[in-house]
Structure 1
Amino acid sequence: MTQAPPKFEIFVVTAPGLEKPLAAEMREAGFKKPKMMPGGVRFRGNWQDVWRANLTLRGAVKVLARVASFQTMHLNQLEGLTADLPWRSFLRTDTPVRVDVVTQKSKIYHAGAAKERVEKGLRAALDVETTDDAPVTLKTRIDNNMVTFSLDTSGDSLHKRGFKAAVAKAPMRETMASMFLRQMEYDGTQTVLDPMCGSGTFVIEAAEIAAGLLPGRARAFAFEHLATFDAAIWADMRATDAQPASARFYGSDKDAGAIRMSQDNAERSGVSELCTFTHTSVGDLEAPDTAPGIVIVNPPYGTRIGDKKPLYALHASLGRALKERFTGWRVGLVTSDTGLAKSTGLPLETPFAPVAHGGLTVKLHTCQL
């Protein structure tokens, strides 16, 4: 009988405040017993689960594989215990490693000194090069004298999917957009419209979900440089066919450049046939000839662009257009400014946790029209 691959702890990072929808996404995707933690969701799995999490989870920012831990209070012991770990099971001798260290509430309090000792331990065990521009990062956390080693299996943040060459001034990250859509109860069948679409993130994300396109389908990952990687299994895992989508997706913006960006990004993402982008202001916004669906928007707010006085009129204009022409639609508005949200005149509620975004805290305000 074939022995099952060993399981270990895997931590899926997301934006603080989005742990709950990420956990829901993971349960739906078949990841076993996901448990919410501050800043992410953990579960136990094997290396194929690591690859699948990177490939398929739309709300994940990073996937960390926790490979070892021990307790120590001395730098010499840190180096020695690091050298004793079975690094050849995870790392390749021909692939450099970057070591990052965070330490708190510990006898080993100097992160730079700890980094040097961990690097020495790695070189003793594996004779591997350690550099700050390596394709593999070993994250070392020393907390209350407990050392935990995690391999960053993602590399670049997972919101970087390889399709968005053009971005607006204050873009919504794809990972956040997907979780806000989930909180809006989007399931791939509803029409989605963004009246201030910028570079098209909400619209394109919704279209990709409807078409069954995996978020990591076209990018590279750090786990491809690990000793645990199997190229044949990975090729089979990534070979997923798109599915027909019945819904359509709409974006509009008063900035003609934003419309061109959105169209280009949709083309690169392979969903341009599902998306329509229109150069128009929110005051002239019209509902598409479809069943009522979801309006979701991340409008400018004062902390992001400076003077916010003109924004009250913009939000009021948006609210009027939605009330007059979007009866039956569900509305989601992402903002850091409750006053601006209220200026829409819409019966907005805030049923979800606030989310950390670019040094700000934003909330998803929702209502049914």
Structure 2
Amino acid sequence: MRRTRLHKQIRRQLLEKKQEFFVICPPGFEKECEKEIQTLFPDTGPMKAEKGGILLQAPLSFAPEANRRLRTASRILMRMARFTATDFKGFQKNLAEIPWQLYFPEGPLPEIRVLCHKCRLYHSDALAQRIRDFLSSKKDRESGAPCIQEKPLPGLYLRGEKDRFTLSVDSSGPLLYLRGLKTAGSRAPIRENLAAAILMASGYTPEIPLADPMCGSGTFSMEAALMASNLAPGSFRSFAWENWPAFLVAPFAREEEPTQHLLPAPIHASDVEEKVLTDFRALCLQHSFLENIQIQKADFFSLDAPRGEAGLIMLNPPYGLRMGTKKAAGILNRRLADHLQKKWQGWRTGILVPGEQKIPQEFSRLTCRRFQHGGLAMQLFTGKTEDMHLHTP
């Protein structure tokens, strides 16, 4: 292949030195994301956990592999530039110093997202328009790599903090919780990457059974099956990094990892709604790694723990408008604790509860993790079923 000026720039500025990445994850689960990065990418340099993500330095190849393999990540950004600007003239001068052809392909302009805090240049729409005008006027954009139309386009992220600006290019495209598997959802869906983080925080490993008795569209069961099958969660979708010039001029060759079709431990999924179970069964029939999930229609309070080794029971009970009054929520918490202690002894549990509720007395001996889910404050209670506190009449 003929080496062009673009090849040389990519090699010198991107391939021969480490890049700075920011891995965005669900706020409250930075610990799980950091541990996952350390496990999957042990050669990655020092990491810094920030609210909502992990900052790190890694080779350019981190972008394709991390997007495909990380289960807890929401989006992965790579830093392009940092500069200080207090007026639009200075802002545009800094834009002119960035080698844009290294980060974006020819053709459509990237989607631009701006967030500013305590900056003299505070108007996000005006900043975004300055960038669009600048990119539209650049003649040398046409000397870059042509984009692949059917692949997601990389977006551009600008963040300003006290007149200090950071420009980043997106490597993910659609948010990473979109695994490319589901076509139907339930009334209260948990995002897939959040479900993976919750399972990790609750103590799930593929070697132990999982019970998902309020499974809805089956997100917890599906994520557990992905883990147990050693299947990368991004195996079924495309990413924005596939339209990065570096990978357009030198396609990235990934190594396929062996998958495991038989689950090392059973996954039991159930719900009271036939419609969501029908959709989940149909999804399981489309993918071999889901075929061994055991699905049944049942009310949780009619279920005993499966025979054999104790594992993790994951509970996402109704809340908010589905639950009704606080009194009804309190009654449900008491019923859950009572049933878990009587019928699920020896099991670990993860229970989701709205954040506006006070810590239920029944769960006061469990570990509480606070987080956000779709703008709603939530609490995750984890521990052993025997640690639950029951009211005495």
The alignment-based identity, stated in percent, is: 29
Residue 120 of structure 1 aligns to a residue in which SS? helix
Runs of 4+ in 1 over 2 A off after TM superposition: 2-5, 31-34, 120-129, 230-237, 264-274, 302-321, 337-343, 345-348
**AA at the equivalent of 1:203:** S
Q: How many residues align?
A: 361
Does the 8 Å contact 2:20/2:79 carry over to 1? yes
Deviation digits for residues 48-79 of structure 1, max 9, x if unmatched? 10111111110000001111111111112212
2:97 alignment partner, one of 75, 84, 99: 84
Deviation digits for residues 214-266 of structure 1, max 9, x if unmatched? 010010111111102158753424x2231243211011111111211222333
Structure 1 range deviating more: 140-149 or 298-307:
298-307
Residue 123 of structure 1 aligns to a residue in which SS? helix
Structure 2 equivalent of residue 350 of structure 1: 367
Structure 2 equivalent of residue 174 of structure 1: 192
Structure 1 equivalent of residue 382 of structure 2: 366
Is 1:119 the counterpart of 2:119 in the alignment?
A: no
Structure 2 equivalent of residue 11 of structure 1: 22
Counterparts in 2 of 1:1-369, with a 5 A limit?
Answer: 5-30=16-41, 31-125=44-138, 126-127=140-141, 135-229=153-247, 234-237=252-255, 239-243=256-260, 244-302=262-320, 306-336=324-354, 342=360, 345=362, 348-352=365-369, 354-369=370-385
CA distance in 1, matches of 2:241, 2:57: 17
Structure 1 range deviating more: 181-190 or 48-57:
181-190
Q: TM-score, normalised by structure 2?
A: 0.85
Deviation digits for residues 157-177 of structure 1, max 9, x if unmatched? 100001111111011111111
Structure 1: gaps spanning 5 or more residues? none
**AA at the equivalent of 1:11:** F
Report the CA distance between 1:337 and its aligned residue.
5.0
Over 3 Å counting, the alpha-carbon distance change for 1:315 and 1:234 in structure 2 is farther
Deviation digits for residues 267-287 of structure 1, max 9, x if unmatched? 344333220111111110121
CA distance in 2, matches of 1:104, 1:308: 37
Structure 1 range deviating more: 215-224 or 333-342:
333-342
Residue 260 of structure 1 aligns to a residue in which SS? helix
- Root-mean-square deviation (CA), in Å? 2.4
Does the 8 Å contact 1:96/1:136 carry over to 2? no
Over 3 Å counting, the alpha-carbon distance change for 1:5 and 1:185 in structure 2 is farther
